[in-house]
Amino acid sequence: MKKLFSLTITLIFSLIVLPLGAEAQKASRPLASVRETPTVTIDLGGAAGTYNGASYSELNLGVNWNITDYFTWRNAAFKRFSSVTDQDILGLDSTLRLVSTSHFDSGYFRMFAGAGYRFADPSTKNAMIGEAGLGINIGGLGIGGGAKYLKYDKIQLDSLGRETKRDDIIYFITLAGHFGTGF
């Protein structure tokens, strides 16, 4: 866990602090191009997975701040619906994503990979996140998909009190839209 935390801090430092230093030194090639007015996008997503033999589905509403052409900070409120237990989970996923975009006439393809943290209720479901995916956007509307890996902070127990696995993989699909500039 300490190793992942150190890696995340190093990534954040590399993406935010180093480009600022490059700008101050007027480097010939900037590390990241900061937009004059960063854009905000909203997406609605669905996900599914299984955990210890029980299936579940998730819904989420995400807000993405595209800080640079290569860097996005995403916060998504989510609710997980379990098929077996009567305890649903809700919370917030907050991730920092590295993004690669390839433009074409009426839109773009986008790939991303990132890391972050899931703040959940109940707190036993708090987890570190690793995620990756791809999508296509045409005329301001997009569709994408990918996978999210969760590593729970606390030991997970089943209904009989037995220890279960502490990680989970979620497969997701998102519908996205761009609303204005300057947000």
- 141 Cβ partners below 8 Å, 6+ apart? 175, 176, 177
Q: pLDDT for 44-100, tens place per residue?
A: 999 998 887 788 999 999 999 989 889 999 999 999 998 776 678 999 999 999 999
Split into its structural domains, the chain has a count of 1
Q: Whole domain around residue 106: which residue ranges?
A: 33-178
- Picking from 88, 49, 53, 46, the residue whose alpha carbon sits closest to that of residue 170 is 49
In a domain, 98, yes or no: yes
The pTM score is: 0.76
In a domain, 183, yes or no: no
Q: How far apart are CA 183 and CA 77, in angstroms?
A: 19
In a domain, 20, yes or no: no
- Picking from 53, 39, 74, 52, the residue whose alpha carbon sits closest to that of residue 144 is 74
CATH of the domain at 68: 2.40.160.20
In a domain, 13, yes or no: no
